[in-house]
Amino acid sequence: MVATGVGHARNLAVVGSGEIVIAIGGEWGTLSEIGHARSLGRTVVALHTWTLIGRDQMEGAPGVIPVETPEEAVAAALAELPSG
């Protein structure tokens, strides 16, 4: 949890606080978090959330990994972490 007290700007703080983002379901705020995460270069694991297609260099929504289950989401996120 990231307590910010800054309203919608918290979305940027939330995605900037981790190395990988798991987006689950959601509405407009989740979509903005996905956008912020990708702008920051964070990989997004997408569990039953927005379908993104993109155009030109954004075709196929690079950096967004769709998954079907919570277990797949965790496994995909862990697989994306840099080797320590």
Query: pLDDT category, 2, cuts 50, 70, 90?
Result: low
Is position 68 within any domain?
Answer: yes
Q: Residue 40: what pLDDT?
A: 96
Token pair for 4: 């910010």
**How many residues are there in the chain?**
84
The CATH number given to whatever domain includes residue 69 is: 3.40.50.450
For the chain, what is the domain count?
1
Query: pLDDT category, 5, cuts 50, 70, 90?
Result: confident
Token pair for 50: 């927005």
Among residues 26, 36, 11, 22, the alpha carbon closest in space to that of 80 is found at: 22
Is position 1 within any domain?
Answer: no
Is position 2 within any domain?
Answer: no
pLDDT, tens digit (0-9, with 9 covering 90-100), for 8-52:
888 998 899 999 999 999 999 999 999 999 999 999 999 999 988
Q: Which domain holds residue 56?
A: 7-80
pTM of the model: 0.86
